Each structure stands twice: as structure tokens, then as C-alpha cells.
């Protein structure tokens, strides 16, 4: 029996034993050994489920790697197991999973399991008390896979002024938790991760989308801060997965197919807006959680940390660009070609109709239970000036916040985010989901997320049920903002 047969047999045993216990049992003599061999394409197959109880289900090796973004454009970064994105980790809901991480770099690392309900010691955040993977050391992360949906994993180290660490690197990958209830009403599933490369510091801010003057901006102060802005992070190169627009294989489709797209923004710094020329997206899940009202949209906005699952009906034969709305981002690589069978023309970009991204259209009007307590968070920028870095305040102070936010188990908290800055921020809560209650005065219900964009001078309210005891990190998912103060630690009483 060769290795491939074993893996197949392993999975067959898993399937035969049903969804609950995922422990394929094979005679010990048949247990596969770790042998170096050809590496499958990262998106082609999930990593192999090992057949023994003692072996890890997945292994990740953190190490320097080269990425050929396009012919003659090769960058060096840190990645997982020589793949960017890292291997797809696919598991069943409720499965006990062990991930063995080897760190072949000279610095401590943390792997964060984004969107999972895992204990603080496993979550992959130093602030919560997770131990690091020591330089040239190994560590096992073990957790029960929940909840079902599109999750991801990524480095959670602070980068500060080092733009070659943390989420500036290629340390990100998809983690899919299957519920077993997926009706599978699609012909293809594709995984698309957005990232930028070779970041640099600038005050030019050319990458930032201008705030929409039509926004209500309920938190705009009467006298906005006039101090000059500090250095922010820009980038000259972009990719979807490991390729710049036009450099990789297209997404190959046939007329009439339904394609389920799993979009992930793994950028350290940028919110992106995407469109697929000639097509619309049926948004079915946000941050991996099914939405109450799936809607057809022309444009998807996705911030660092967020995921959007969208179904696309392939009903417009041709060769099209799925890409960023800003020309500068698309021409720097942020896009991928969608090619119908038997079509050879050049890929076409058609700017989408003017459309605004609004989470509330995916919600319902159902009333929320009254919260037990409302917690206000005022979010402010301290501009750094031309040669400095901006610093960020949560309720008047930079991280650490040790005792400010204490939750009681079982209570429902309404967190109200007051963004008093001129940037949009994707705010992420570890180890929990929250439900969107209000965005800039618009009420909604049923939209469950772990990361929410609060627009410039905007306000959002979310409900969080305190049902995951343990230290819980809250932060802006823009790496520089998080590193320079934009974090808070929640604890349970």
C-alpha cells in the first residue's frame, strides 16, 4: 500500500465512522511516517489527516520562503510550510485537532486561530497568555474545531517598526470547518486570499480609500484634530493568493456553473473593494457565518481579518477580471482572471456600478434582546506628525487595558464603538462572535461576525454574549494600529 492509498483509507474510515468521532483507526504498522516528498498544490488538497492518535493532524513549518508573484517578480518572506497562503486546514466541526508547529526562524511566533472558539492558552495571542513557539522550537496547538465556517490562521506577533514580521509576512492560511450540513449547491469552490507585499512607511496614504463624504459620520468632532498625520504603511505589490493579476492560472469556469468563492483579506493594512466584471456576488456568509438575508451585490468590501463567502453564477461567457476597484491596486497585482471554457480573448475589466457596501442589507429586522450592560469604547488617533507613527487610544489610553473591561459569564453586552478618527478600522474580537446591532444609526440583526469595519467618524454597536471564559483580546486588525496602542484585553470576573 502506498502513501496515497493510506491517506484515502484514512479519510474513508473517518467518513464511515460519521461526523462525531474523527479518529481513524489503522493498525500501528500501517501508520504513515513523515517522509519528505513532493508537495501538493496548496489549494488542491487539504493537508493529510494522519492515521495515528499520537501524530498531529496537521503540521506547519514557519520558515523563510520565496514567492514568485509574477515572472521575474520574486519576493522573500516568512511562510507556512513553503506555501503562500499556507496549507488549507480543513476539518469537521467538533473534531479534536492537533496542529504541530515548527518554528524555523530566529524569533518567537504565535499562530492565531481566527474566528474559532478556543481557550486563551491555545488562541495564539501573547496578551491572552498563549505560550510562544520558541525560535527553532516546536509547539502543539490542540483544540476542538468550532464553529463551522470559513476561518483562518495567521501570525499574531507584534511587528512594530519591523515590516517583515507578523501579518506583513506570508504567514496566513485558510482554515475551513465543515458542519456536515453543506448541501453543496455549487460546482466549484475557490479560495482567494488578498495580500500586499514589500510594505514601506509613507505619509502619502495613496492606498487609503477616501472616506465617503455622504457618510453620516455621527462621531465627527466639531473641531477635528489639525495635527499632521504620521507614517502609515503602503505597498507596491499585491496578489490574490501567491500571484499578481494575470501571472497565475485563471479561475476556469463553464457557463451555468455556480462557483463558491471564499474571500479572505489577509492584508496587514488595507481594506479592499472587489468586483467581478459582468457578474454579481451572492453573499451567503460573512466571517464564515451564514447571513439571514443573502443578497446580490456588485462590489464586496473586505477589511483585514474579514472573510466573505459568495456564490457567483457564471452566466456571462468571456474572460473577465475579478479585481480591486482602484486602478492602482489592480495594476499592482490585486486581481485574478476568470476564464470561461473556449474563450481566449484578453481579460476585460468593466468598472462596476456605483455601489456601497452595507452590512445591514444582509440582516433582518428582528428585535434584539435587551443587553445586560452597555460598554462604550471611544477610539481615537494621536497623529504622529511627518516622521512619527500615529498612536491609538481606547477610552483615552493605549494598550494595556488590564482591568477596564470585565465580563460576567452568561451576560449580554452591547459594545458601542465610537470611531473618533478619520480612518476606517476593522475591529476584531478574539474567541467570540458578536452580532451587529447598529451601524451609523441603521439597525440590523442576525449578522454575526468577529471583525467589523467601523467607518471613519462612524459608530457601530454589537452584542456579545459572554460565553467563552478566559482572557480575550480586542484590537484593530490593521497591524500598525494594533502595534501602536489599538488593543484592549477583556477578562471574565
CA–CA dist 170, 68 (Å, integer): 12
CB of 414 to Cu ion, least distance (A): 21
- Interface with Cu ion (CB under 5 A): 425, 476, 478, 481
DSSP 469: -
Which among 434, 469, 439, 468 is positioned nearest to 451, based on CA atoms? 434
Shortest approach of Cu ion to residue 275 CB, angstroms? 24
**Residue 65 near residue 120 (C-beta atoms within 8 A):** no
* C-beta closer to Cu ion: residue 9 or 393: 393
Residue number with CB closer to Cu ion (60 or 454): 454
Q: Which is nearer to Cu ion, 305 or 363 (CB)?
A: 305
The C-alpha atoms of residue 154 and residue 111 are separated, in whole angstroms, by 6
- Give the dihedral sign, CA 287/304/490/89: positive
Q: How far is the CB of 486 from Cu ion (least distance, A)?
A: 5
Query: What's phi and psi for 87, nearest 5 deg?
Result: -55, 145
Residue 482 C-beta: closest distance to Cu ion, Å? 7
> For residues 431 and 472, is the Cβ–Cβ distance under 8 A?
yes
Three-state secondary-structure class, residue 28: helix
Least separation in angstroms between residue 478's CB and Cu ion is 4
Taking the complex as a whole, how short is the minimal distance between the CB of residue 419 and Cu ion, in angstroms? 9
User: How many whole angstroms separate alpha carbon 310 and alpha carbon 142?
Assistant: 30
Dist CA 235 CA 264 (whole Å): 18
Indicate the residue among 55 and 416 with the shorter CB distance to Cu ion.
416
Whether 85 and 172 have beta carbons less than 8 Å apart is answered as yes
Place of cell 456601497: 356
d(Cα 294, Cα 288) in Å, to the nearest integer?
A: 13
**CA-CA distances (angstroms) from residue 403 to 373, 471, 475, 492, 493?**
16, 11, 16, 10, 10
3-state class (DSSP) for residue 41: coil
* Of 337 and 478, CB closest to Cu ion: 478
Cα–Cα dist 49/333, whole Å: 34
Contacts of 319 (CB under 8 A, 6+ apart): 250, 337, 338, 339, 340, 343, 344, 345, 346, 347, 348
Minimum CB–partner distance for residue 363 and Cu ion (Å): 24
Nearer to Cu ion by Cβ, of 459 and 481: the residue is 481
Please state the closest distance from residue 1 (CB atom) to Cu ion, in A: 52
| For Cu ion, the closer CB: 447 or 452 | 452
Please report how close the Cβ of residue 294 comes to Cu ion at its closest, in angstroms.
29
Nearer to Cu ion, 392 or 434 (CB): 392
Distance of alpha carbon 310 from alpha carbon 2, whole angstroms: 38
Closer residue to Cu ion in complex, CB, 59/421: 421
Nearer to Cu ion among residue 243 and residue 420 (C-beta):
420
Nearest distance from C-beta of residue 58 to Cu ion, angstroms: 31
Q: What is the DSSP string of 316-363?
A: S-SEEEEEESSHHHHHTT-EEEEEETT--SPPB--PPP-----GGGGS
Q: Which is nearer to Cu ion, 285 or 379 (CB)?
A: 379
Residue 78 C-beta: closest distance to Cu ion, Å: 23
Amino acid at each position: 500500500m502506498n502513501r496515497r492509498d493510506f491517506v484515502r483509507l484514512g479519510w474513508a474510515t473517518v467518513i464511515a465512522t460519521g461526523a462525531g468521532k474523527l479518529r481513524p483507526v489503522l493498525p500501528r504498522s500501517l501508520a504513515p511516517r513523515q517522509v519528505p516528498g513532493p508537495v501538493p498544490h496548496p489549494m488542491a488538497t487539504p493537508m493529510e489527516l494522519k492515521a495515528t492518535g499520537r501524530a498531529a493532524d496537521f503540521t506547519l513549518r514557519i520558515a523563510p520562503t520565496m514567492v514568485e508573484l509574477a515572472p521575474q517578480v520574486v519576493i522573500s518572506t516568512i511562510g507556512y510550510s513553503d506555501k503562500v497562503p499556507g496549507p488549507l486546514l480543513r476539518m469537521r466541526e467538533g473534531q479534536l485537532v492537533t496542529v504541530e508547529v515548527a518554528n524555523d526562524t530566529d524569533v518567537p511566533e504565535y499562530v492565531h486561530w481566527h474566528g474559532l472558539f478556543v481557550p486563551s492558552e491555545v488562541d495564539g495571542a501573547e496578551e491572552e497568555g498563549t505560550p510562544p513557539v520558541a525560535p527553532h522550537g516546536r509547539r502543539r496547538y490542540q483544540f476542538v474545531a468550532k464553529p463551522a465556517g470559513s476561518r483562518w490562521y495567521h501570525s499574531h506577533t507584534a511587528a512594530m517598526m519591523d515590516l517583515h514580521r507578523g501579518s506583513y509576512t506570508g504567514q496566513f492560511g485558510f482554515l475551513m470547518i465543515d458542519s456536515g450540513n453543506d448541501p453543496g449547491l455549487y460546482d466549484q469552490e475557490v479560495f482567494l486570499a488578498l495580500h500586499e507585499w514589500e510594505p514601506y512607511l509613507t505619509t502619502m496614504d495613496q492606498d487609503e480609500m477616501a472616506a465617503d463624504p455622504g457618510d453620516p459620520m455621527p462621531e465627527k468632532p466639531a473641531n477635528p484634530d489639525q495635527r499632521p498625520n504620521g507614517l502609515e504603511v503602503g505597498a507596491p505589490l499585491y496578489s490574490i493568493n501567491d500571484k499578481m493579476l494575470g501571472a497565475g492560472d485563471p479561475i476556469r469556469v463553464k457557463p451555468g456553473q455556480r462557483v463558491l468563492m471564499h474571500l479572505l483579506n489577509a492584508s496587514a493594512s488595507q481594506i479592499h473593494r472587489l468586483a467581478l466584471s459582468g457578474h454579481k456576488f451572492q453573499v451567503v456568509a460573512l466571517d464564515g457565518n451564514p447571513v439571514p438575508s443573502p443578497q446580490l451585490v456588485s462590489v464586496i468590501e473586505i477589511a483585514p481579518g474579514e472573510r466573505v463567502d459568495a456564490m457567483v453564477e457564471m452566466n456571462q461567457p468571456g474572460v473577465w477580471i475579478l479585481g480591486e476597484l482602484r486602478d492602482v491596486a489592480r495594476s499592482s497585482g490585486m486581481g485574478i482572471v476568470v476564464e470561461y471554457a473556449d474563450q481566449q480573448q484578453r481579460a476585460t475589466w468593466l468598472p462596476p456600478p456605483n455601489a456601497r457596501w452595507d452590512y445591514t442589507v444582509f440582516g433582518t429586522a428582528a428585535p434584539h434582546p435587551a443587553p445586560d450592560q452597555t460598554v462604550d469604547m471611544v477610539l481615537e488617533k494621536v497623529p504622529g506628525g511627518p516622521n512619527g507613527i500615529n498612536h491609538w487610544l481606547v477610552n483615552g489610553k493605549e494598550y494595556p487595558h488590564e482591568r477596564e473591561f470585565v465580563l460576567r459569564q452568561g451576560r449580554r453586552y452591547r459594545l458601542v464603538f465610537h470611531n473618533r478618527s478619520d480612518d476606517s478600522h476593522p475591529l476584531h474580537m478574539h474567541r467570540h462572535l458578536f452580532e451587529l446591532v447598529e451601524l451609523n444609526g441603521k439597525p440590523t440583526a442576525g449578522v454575526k461576525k468577529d471583525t467589523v469595519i467601523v467607518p471613519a467618524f462612524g459608530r457601530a454597536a454589537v452584542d456579545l454574549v459572554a460565553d467563552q471564559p478566559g482572557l480575550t483580546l480586542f484590537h484593530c486588525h490593521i497591524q500598525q494600529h494594533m502595534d501602536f496602542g489599538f488593543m484592549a484585553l477583556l477578562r471574565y470576573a
